[in-house]
Chains A and B, each alone.
Chain A
Amino acid sequence: MNFLLRIWRQKNRQTPGKLVDYQVRDISPNTSFLEMLDILNEQLLDRGEEPIAFDSDCREGICGACSLTVNGEAHGPDHPGAVCELYMRKFRDGATITIEPFRVGAFPIVKDLVIDRSGLDRIVEAGGFITARAGSAPEANSILIPKHDADIAMEAAACIGCGACAAACPNGSAMLFTSAKVSHLAFLPQGHPERESRVLKMVSVMDAEGFGNCTNTYECEAVCPAEISASFIAKLNREYARAALRRSAGE
């Protein structure tokens, strides 16, 4: 298969970037999208041009490193899945494909298609954990958790932290990401002692990082490679309201 690729090139954060056209030829339909970029990079190297920088690591959709916007869609057209799980058989031969980084104000561009997502780490640092010192845990089966609750917690916990939700959101909101962690821990009894401080702190850091608010467009859910449901955002809002109310009531 042959493709015309229009790829965002940007030297660094300070220098403005632009779309540059590249031709790739004789690509097998069984090539993954990122492998196609590998092939292009080999060709650029042959011509003495600097390869295109992009993030990837596990290449099986779980590490959350890859972060490309393909034809305007975070992670490309094959939902659900990260862009590393996208295969060229999903495209028409001869197609023009535009490749950009995730575009979020809170994710500054580092180089070409690589962005800085450390804001997501800082949201977790604010409270996305359960305090459990190694050595003092009770016997595991002493905490009974109904299967249904454990399953919902798992659905939320499946988030891979890629940031596609924020990239797809017209407001650049990281609500789906934040809600997934808040919900995961709120559905489990172990998460209850820190339930209120957790949601209040995480939301305040999320705002401070410059992520936008949720206006219920559900684009986040549509592109999420881990199929995190937007209903967790509703859960986040309930958790937040509950915590804020209890705080203001002096509890």
Chain B
Amino acid sequence: MIGTLDPKIPPGPLAQKWRNHRDHSRLVSPNNRRKFEIILVGSGLAGGSATATLGELGYRVKCFCFQDSARRAHSIAAQGGINAAKNYQNDGDSVYRLFHDTIKGGDFRAREANVYRLAEISNNIIDQCVAQGVPFAREYGGLLANRSFGGAQVSRTFYARGQTGQQLLLGCYQALCRQIAAGTVRMFPQTEMLDLVIVDGQAKGIITRSLRTGKIDSHAADAVVLATGGYGNVFYLSTNARGCNVTATYRAYKRGALFANPSFTQIHPTCIPVSGEHQSKLTLMSESLRNDGRVWVPKRKEDRDKPPGEIPEQDRDYYLERKYPSYGNLAPRDIASRAAKEVCDEGRGVGPGGRGVYLDFADAIKRLGENIIRERYGNLFEVYEKITGENAYKVPMRIYPAVHYTMGGLWVDYDLMSNVPGLFVIGEANFSDHGANRLGASALMQGLADGYFILPNTLPNYLASQMGKRPSPDAPEFRDTEKDVRARIEKLLNVNGTRSLDSFHRELGLLLWDKCGMSRHEKGLREALQKIPKLREEFWHGVRVLGSEQDYNQALERAGRVADFLEFAELMCIDALERNESAGAHFRQEHQTPDGEALRDDENHAAVFTWELQGDGQPPKLHRETLHFEIVHLAQRSYK
């Protein structure tokens, strides 16, 4: 079915590709736009900005989200900031440098053309958000303020206290509200996409379930856009919101869309450590804290139970500063996470269970005073105190890595269209820009670049050939897909087992964390691939889901998501096994440099791995998109 994967990268020099492409793309004229219906699934930064922008352009848009309001999408929880190459600090930043940092941070596993476009657009995003009234931090003279983030040697991050994601999302949400009032957008809150409808090989609609009433509906459209975020919750414990799931993208995969690099999952170095079995989620402490906090553990494991104040300076190991002197505590996320795991594996971890390292503000408080630290990070210190009961102005924070973001996602071409014509994928849900590791403050940038600026310019390229081709939601393809959806729900409710949903999800999460987490090896991955199908089998015989499908039934909605995670986890492990190299967040123990850094194999693995479903019992088929680097010189990443 799939020939060679063509990313459709426009010709010409890197810096002119995006402009050339726009100059030659097809358009839809203003009076024809209202004749097109677009489905947007997800209302976060990518989905919200795309919906608002397409509505403004005059398309008729339906936007779906599972939350009770578009404003609650998980983008809202992003703390630290958003990158842009404005060079307001006069510290040597440029579009090229942001591009290069992002490619390098991603360990050379992203497309040059996409990342360059992202860096170019970053500046427009800041302009757009300021115009909308996003209250970014400012200096006394009224200019915008910046701070620095991991993986960069310039200050290019714009922020709104520790609530940057919230403020950017509210900007999108307000723009979306304006379109709802204008009648261009219809919002469907508490409505979950359960399947993708393909008509004549093109994505032409979705099947949804109202979480409020249980009603199943068919929605037809001229194009379908998924902006459904990442799948970090496959690990059960992650920094994602409880509702985040893989269902929309996985259902699309089951209908023929290619899933790219599913094993690329980001483990964030600064999260509050796990405190017990009851825990339902992990809480991130923004990476921005690493600007002023120093990470350390005791040099000797005998000291690890001592109160930190009793460990003198000479007995502390500031291991990031020691190993990476030029980036120090601002080493990229994958590197900082692995370094924390390493010192804990050596038995030097602190706190209950020994899975924690200190993030210490004592020096910064001495240098700047408590007030400045409070102004910069006050809300994060409050969150920390609420969860742990400890005052981080007095004792160092304890942190440990946790699952945070997924670089993998559905494969898309330069237009952000998947291999299924008419199916577009934006934001975290696609695989496009972060390679094997995302740099801090780049997720917000990508979500908004996709939604405000890229999709509105590339979607017409497809729509222009689709005039009048929208099927009726009564077409047989919709009826058949709807039947599949109903059968699946019925099956879930009829298992009538004895084991709870959470216990399956937890078991899957622990298995993945162990075998397909911060470091992976062939034997472990093969073990996981043995165990996951067994667990899935047990699930379909033993899970207990109560209640009815025609009701507000939170257990049923979660059961469907866990069922998809149980299939998707296998795809992650297959991908991790196939990628026989280390790259960014994907660390295969077999492939490391003598000092323990990720060792890439550019000759055989400078490629995107995409997977095509082969049907029952068959392993998925691999298609590779070779990455061509014209500008960037592939090198061993060094942050030393």
A61 at the interface (CB under 8 A from B): yes
- How long is the Cα–Cα vector from A121 to B189 in the complex, in angstroms? 11
Given contacts A58-B241, A126-B181, contact A150 B138 (CB under 8 A): yes
Nearest chain-B residue to A150 (Cβ)? B138
Which of the residues B52, B187, B242 comes within 8 Å of A57, measured between beta carbons? B242
Q: Is the CB of B127 within 8 A of A150?
A: no
Interface bracket on A: 35 or more
Give the segment of B158-166, B415-423, B586-594, B621-629 that binds chain A.
Answer: B158-166
* Binary per-residue interface labels of chain B (267-286) against chain A in the complex, 1 for a CB within 8 Å, 0 otherwise: 00000000110111101100
B157 at the interface (CB under 8 A from A): no
Nearest chain-A residue to B280 (Cβ)? A35
A-B CB pair tally, cutoff 8 Å? 209
- How long is the Cα–Cα vector from A145 to B160 in the complex, in angstroms? 14
- How long is the Cα–Cα vector from A244 to B39 in the complex, in angstroms? 40
- How long is the Cα–Cα vector from A81 to B387 in the complex, in angstroms? 11
B212 at the interface (CB under 8 A from A): yes
Name the distance in Å between A172's Cβ and chain B's nearest Cβ: 19
- How long is the Cα–Cα vector from A129 to B132 in the complex, in angstroms? 7
Name the distance in Å between B104's Cβ and chain A's nearest Cβ: 26
Q: Which residues of B contact A45 (CB under 8 A)?
A: 500, 544, 546, 555
- How long is the Cα–Cα vector from A42 to B456 in the complex, in angstroms? 45
Name the distance in Å between B162's Cβ and chain A's nearest Cβ: 10
- How long is the Cα–Cα vector from A118 to B67 in the complex, in angstroms? 11
* Binary per-residue interface labels of chain A (201-230) against chain B in the complex, 1 for a CB within 8 Å, 0 otherwise: 000000000000000000000000000000
Given contacts A31-B278, A45-B546, A78-B386, contact A129 B174 (CB under 8 A): yes
B76 at the interface (CB under 8 A from A): yes
Q: Is the CB of B69 within 8 A of A85?
A: no
Q: Is the CB of B135 within 8 A of A150?
A: yes
- How long is the Cα–Cα vector from A68 to B413 in the complex, in angstroms? 45
- How long is the Cα–Cα vector from A46 to B138 in the complex, in angstroms? 54
Given contacts A144-B141, A146-B142, contact A30 B275 (CB under 8 A): yes
Which of the residues A46, A110, A116, A190 comes within 8 Å of B131, measured between beta carbons? A190
- How long is the Cα–Cα vector from A154 to B280 in the complex, in angstroms? 30
Q: Is the CB of A157 within 8 A of B167?
A: yes
Q: Which residues of A contact B161 (CB under 8 A)?
A: 154, 158
B348 at the interface (CB under 8 A from A): no
Q: Is the CB of A59 within 8 A of B71?
A: no
A101 at the interface (CB under 8 A from B): no
* Binary per-residue interface labels of chain B (208-228) against chain A in the complex, 1 for a CB within 8 Å, 0 otherwise: 000010000000000000000
Q: Is the CB of B132 within 8 A of A190?
A: yes
Name the distance in Å between A60's Cβ and chain B's nearest Cβ: 5
Given contacts A132-B132, A150-B138, contact A141 B88 (CB under 8 A): yes
Nearest chain-B residue to A56 (Cβ)? B242
Q: Which residues of A contact B74 (CB under 8 A)?
A: 57-58, 63
Q: Which residues of A contact B147 (CB under 8 A)?
A: none
B359 at the interface (CB under 8 A from A): no
Which of the residues A51, A114, A137 comes within 8 Å of B124, measured between beta carbons? A137
Name the distance in Å between B7's Cβ and chain A's nearest Cβ: 25
Nearest chain-A residue to B170 (Cβ)? A157
Which of the residues B71, B88, B144, B544 comes within 8 Å of A161, measured between beta carbons? B71
- How long is the Cα–Cα vector from A63 to B502 in the complex, in angstroms? 22
Interface bracket on B: 35 or more
Nearest chain-B residue to A132 (Cβ)? B131
Q: Is the CB of A110 within 8 A of B72?
A: no
Q: Is the CB of B280 within 8 A of A134?
A: no
B338 at the interface (CB under 8 A from A): no
Q: Which residues of A contact B59 (CB under 8 A)?
A: none
Name the distance in Å between A84's Cβ and chain B's nearest Cβ: 9
Q: Which residues of A contact B336 (CB under 8 A)?
A: none
A15 at the interface (CB under 8 A from B): no
- How long is the Cα–Cα vector from A129 to B172 in the complex, in angstroms? 9
Q: Is the CB of B174 within 8 A of A124?
A: yes
- How long is the Cα–Cα vector from A158 to B284 in the complex, in angstroms? 19
Q: Is the CB of A141 within 8 A of B143?
A: yes
Which of the residues A59, A147, A161 comes within 8 Å of B241, measured between beta carbons? A59
Which of the residues A36, A59, A111, A138 comes within 8 Å of B127, measured between beta carbons? A138
Name the distance in Å between A9's Cβ and chain B's nearest Cβ: 13
Q: Which residues of B contact A34 (CB under 8 A)?
A: 280
- How long is the Cα–Cα vector from A140 to B133 in the complex, in angstroms? 11
Q: Is the CB of B280 within 8 A of A58?
A: no
10 pairs of A and B residues whose beta carbons are closest in the complex: A144-B142, A129-B174, A137-B131, A132-B131, A137-B127, A154-B135, A140-B130, A57-B241, A153-B135, A134-B452
**Which A residues are closer than 8 A to B by beta carbons?**
12, 27-28, 30-32, 34-36, 38-39, 42, 45-46, 48-51, 53, 55-65, 78, 81, 85, 87, 89, 110-111, 114, 116-118, 120-121, 124-126, 128-141, 143-147, 150, 153-154, 157-158, 160-161, 184-185, 188, 190-191
A-B contact pairs, 23 of them (CB 8 A): A31-B276, A57-B74, A64-B69, A64-B71, A64-B72, A85-B387, A111-B552, A118-B69, A124-B173, A128-B177, A129-B132, A129-B177, A130-B133, A132-B132, A133-B56, A134-B452, A137-B130, A143-B131, A145-B138, A150-B135, A154-B160, A190-B130, A190-B132
